[in-house]
Chains A and B, each alone.
Chain A
């Protein structure tokens, strides 16, 4: 018990010190060199956060961005997993959809964001579409890889009990693909958040990406950093959440 716990405490302390001194350094350097037009220091960002919150703008930006991300992400997972499963078990599906999936995965789909804004307008649905289209590919590809990497000796062992294809799929392939599915979900968080920001840059009424774009135009560096910091925090929290769920469900790894 002792050493493991001690070590964890020690590394936590170290991380906290690292973060705090990083911010302190940022503050010092910023103040010494003069923040000017292109930088804001942590105290200014904190003040801007309070101000934006008080005016109700911040909550609005967060709600909009979070809805776009949440809807797009859930759609991507709900579509991506079954498509990945289909590609893994059906060679015909693989032959038909495979080239599209591989091609679009390699393409920076984000580049068509301006087009998507034209199709769906500047409301949240254009961003939902962008998020879904960047998250779906890691979901499809990871799910497929997960099913394919099911250990052969496990499949044969269970087949020896007379298992049907369906039983093999449900009892062996699905559980052994789960760790890959979760890895895809973690990958999808970063990609999805980028999708939100880029989508909003090209056209939106509100959202953290919109806040960043607007602040950049008016050289309001403090507000710009508020947007950046909340996006970073969202990435960290969402990843921790998925990891927590993963540990609960994929407890055997």
Chain B
């Protein structure tokens, strides 16, 4: 069943919280080296899906396979970047980046420290190795979170709305930084966002989810040339993709906003 190049695969994944069907029959495949985004209105189950991949949550039905093996718990092969700032405030940037290595190895091999320094350089934090999180801006913290996720050299990088807490300009800079970094390593990435233009700009494919219950509405192949500069966002091709995806979920986004207003 599993194609040899599939890095991550969902097979008829369903997740229920009591009566609430958060995810229903999600099937999708993400190939090795692919950058895939998931977009959908608030409450469609994006975070739940990611938590299942993380091993923090169990699917009610169906399964998720990572490199052909069923996911049954947390593990080192997955690197996470969360929306909320999850750096440890008592550790420096370097020390935060090394936490995954420490957990896996029980110590800090010199080679890994060297690699961590290179990663910090790569995400644009060179010179800030000994800074504490509180001394960094939101954008810099997310750079550190990215370096931390990459430091364990994961099979796949999972990002849950990592830029949503940033201001618009910083977000754009981080988007272009992420494509640059991805271009270098060609890590498989699953990126969750509710920003359609962000998904289009970053991805090879965009999985569009519908809500209540959360299910796959459409998978959009983004056929834009790489490497991409931010200017790509303003080309007719990109705008057409954004438009198309927006139309798929427009009604539901409005619904979800109305619902949040009522709460």
Contacts and interface: CB of A to CB of B under 8 A. Distances in A.
Tell whether A pairs with B.
Answer: yes
Interface of A: 153-154, 156-163, 167, 171-172, 175-176, 178, 250-253
Interface of B: 54-56, 74-76, 78, 80, 82, 84, 86, 88-90, 99-100, 102-104, 132-134, 152
B51 to A, nearest CB: 9
Given A153-B82, A154-B86, A175-B90, A160 B56 contact: yes
Given A171-B99, A252-B89, A160 B134 contact: no
A154 B102 CA distance: 16
A172 B88 contact: yes
Contacts of A253: 89
A252 B132 contact: yes
A5 B255 CA distance: 55
Given A162-B104, A252-B133, 5 more contacts: A153-B86, A162-B76, A251-B132, A252-B90, A253-B89
Given A162-B75, A171-B99, A252-B89, A156 B132 contact: no
A252 B100 contact: no
A253 B78 CA distance: 30
Contacts of A158: 86, 88, 99, 103
A161 B152 contact: yes
A176 B89 CA distance: 9
Q: Interface on chain A toward B: helix, strand, loop, or mixed SS?
A: helix
A162 B74 contact: yes
29 contacts: A153-B82, A154-B88, A156-B56, A156-B86, A157-B80, A157-B82, A158-B86, A158-B99, A159-B56, A160-B54, A160-B80, A161-B100, A161-B152, A162-B75, A162-B76, A162-B104, A163-B103, A171-B99, A171-B102, A171-B103, A172-B88, A175-B88, A178-B90, A251-B90, A252-B89, A252-B90, A252-B132, A252-B133, A253-B89
Nearest to B83: A153
Contacts of B102: 171
Which A-B residue pairs are the 7 nearest by beta carbons?
A157-B86, A161-B100, A252-B89, A252-B90, A175-B90, A161-B103, A162-B76
Contacts of A154: 86, 88
Among A154, A156, A160, which residue has the most Cβ atoms of chain B within 10 A?
A160
Contacts of B152: 161
Contacts of B54: 160
B84 A161 contact: no
Given A175-B88, A175-B90, A252-B132, A162 B103 contact: yes
Contact of A161 (B82, B90, B104, B134): B104
A172 B99 CA distance: 11
A163 to B, nearest CB: 5
A160 B78 contact: yes
A188 B82 CA distance: 39
Contacts of A161: 74, 76, 99-100, 103-104, 152
A162 B104 CA distance: 7
Nearest to B152: A161
A163 B134 CA distance: 24
Nearest to A249: B90
Nearest to A174: B90
A160 B74 contact: yes
Contacts of B80: 157, 160
A171 B101 CA distance: 13
A176 to B, nearest CB: 8
B142 to A, nearest CB: 13
A156 B47 CA distance: 13
Nearest to B89: A252
A159 B86 contact: no
Nearest to B56: A156
A167 B54 CA distance: 18
A176 B86 CA distance: 13
